[in-house]
Amino acid sequence: MDTLHQLMNFISRSPSPYHAVGSAAALLEEAGFTRLEECASWTLEWGKGYYTTRNQSSLIAFRLPKTALTGWRMTAAHSDSPTFYIKGDVLEGDKRYLRLSAEGYGGMNCASWLDRPLTVAGRAIVKTAQGVESRLVYLDRDLLTIPSLAIHQQRDVNRGHDYNAQKDMQPLYGLAGSPSLTHLVAQELNVNPEDILSNDLTLCPRQQPVVLGPAGELFQAPRIDDLGCAYATLEGLLTAAPQDKLGQVYCLFDNEEVGSGTRQGALSSFLPDVLSRIAHVLKLDDQQVRQALTGSMLLSADNGHAVHPNFTEKADPANKVYPNGGVVIKLSANQKYTTTGLTAGLFKAVCQQAGVPVQIFANRADEPGGSTLGNLLSQAVSIPMVDIGMAQLAMHSAVETAGSQDPAYMAKACAAFFQAGFAPIADGIYQFA
């Protein structure tokens, strides 16, 4: 259960994408990885590990092979989850109440956010003597809530409700006379309120990760989608041994929940830029670069829907996945997932060698699923990919549920993948070293 508890700690330390990247960076530095700044010149050594960040909310780490580069083993997960971004200190309305002005981010289950303790996390942009600095903020207290309307005033609420983000989902911050949110943030950062120039602040549930079930077989936490994969793939990288000719890359992208079309998203130049800079510093020619990409593979790690105990008919009858059933391989005929028969077979072979169970997920034929990181990354970096994840319940709720054994399965599978010596010898034919 060590991986599970490490994941639960990671989730607790990561109430926003900015904190998730900070948590990942701390683990990388503890493991000896060196930080690189995109704005600085890079010096790299064979066999060493490095990482860089973009917008403080996306991160790419890589470990160079010891002698030469013949291929990459890559994973990609995302740092963001559906939430609400704060637009302003106070929303006009009844003068006896103070409400924050909030806007939805991503597709969340609105009902799950009501009537629970919430707080604020993200970053504040602070004026300094030298210029401007971005600082992480987490108000570690039960600060606000989004109150529901009493059933006495909406008698039909249990027959369904169409939530209006502007009307239903604005958080109650306090009563008239309470200090402003900007004041609390300034107090937390030990700066003057007038020195806070801007911010990127989100709401986050206060519930801490917990283990559930008579034998502890489940766990529940906010942001399992996709911090579960973000942590497990990272543990896989840190557990894996450096290879002689295979490089290892860990990607953590922001903005997956809103389409990834940002400077720090999977559709951006972030991964191509990093790979290009590595090739330049290592003095690889164009043919070596393209051969290495052909010998590469990426795991797009984002969770899948477990069979729901109350709605079993929502699952595809031929491809049911369950908590603690092992790593999920996701298939889509319309190519919303990048998995092919070949990449699924390669990953299955890796998992079999590692003793990790796998299960196959596909959406019902009449319920198309959304695309994930791999589908978008393949537009920028053309390498074989497979979509994987953990089976979970209540995806995109404020608090989600998954199997306690699955984080360890995922981490173990990723560690084996990062060390897997398969290589193509012809189109459609791979050999294992």
Beta bridge partners of 102: 86
Lowest mean pLDDT across 243-252, 351-360, 423-432? 423-432
Q: What is the pLDDT of residues 205-263, one digit of tens each?
A: 999 999 999 999 999 999 999 999 999 999 999 999 999 999 999 999 999 999 898 99
> What is the tens place of the pLDDT at every residue in 101-117?
999 999 999 999 999 99
Identify the CA nearest to 327 among candidates 298, 348, 349, 353: 348
Q: Which pLDDT belongs to residue 95?
A: 85
pLDDT bracket for residue 34 (50, 70, 90): very high
Find how far residue 416's CA is from the centre of its chain. Answer: 21
CATH fold for domain 83-205: Aminopeptidase i, Domain 2 (2.30.250)
What average pLDDT is seen over the chain? 94
Fold of 2-81+222-432: Aminopeptidase (3.40.630)
Using CA atoms, how far apart are residues 77 and 23, in angstroms rounded to an integer?
A: 14
Is the pTM value of this prediction over 0.85?
A: yes
Res. 380: pLDDT tops 70: yes
- Mean pLDDT, range 131-158, rounded to an integer: 94
The pLDDT of residue 1 is above 70: no
Give the lowest-confidence range in 179-188, 268-277, 279-288, 375-384.
375-384
Distance CA(104)–CA(121), nearest Å, equals 15
Mean pLDDT, residues 11-30 taken together = 98
Q: Where are the domains of the chain?
A: 2-81+222-432, 83-205
* 350-372: average pLDDT: 90
Q: 3-class secondary structure for the chain?
A: CHHHHHHHHHHHCCCCHHHHHHHHHHHHHHCCCEECCCCCCCCCCCCCEEEEEECCCEEEEEECCCCCCCEEEEEEEECCCCEEEEEECCCCCCCCEEECEEEEECCCCHHHHCCCCEEEEEEEEEECCCCEEEEEEECCCCCEECCCCCHHHCCCHHHCCCCCHHHHCCCEEEECCCCCHHHHHHHHHCCCHHHEEEEEEEEEECCCCEEECCCCCEEEECCHHHHHHHHHHHHHHHHCCCCCCEEEEEEEECCHHHCCCCCCCCCCCHHHHHHHHHHHHCCCCHHHHHHHHHCCEEEEECCEECCECCEHHHCCCCCCCCCCCCEEEEECCCCCCCCCHHHHHHHHHHHHHHCCCEEEEECCCCCCCCCCHHHHHCCCCCCCEEEEECEEECCCCCCEEEECCHHHHHHHHHHHHHHCCEEEEECCEEEEC
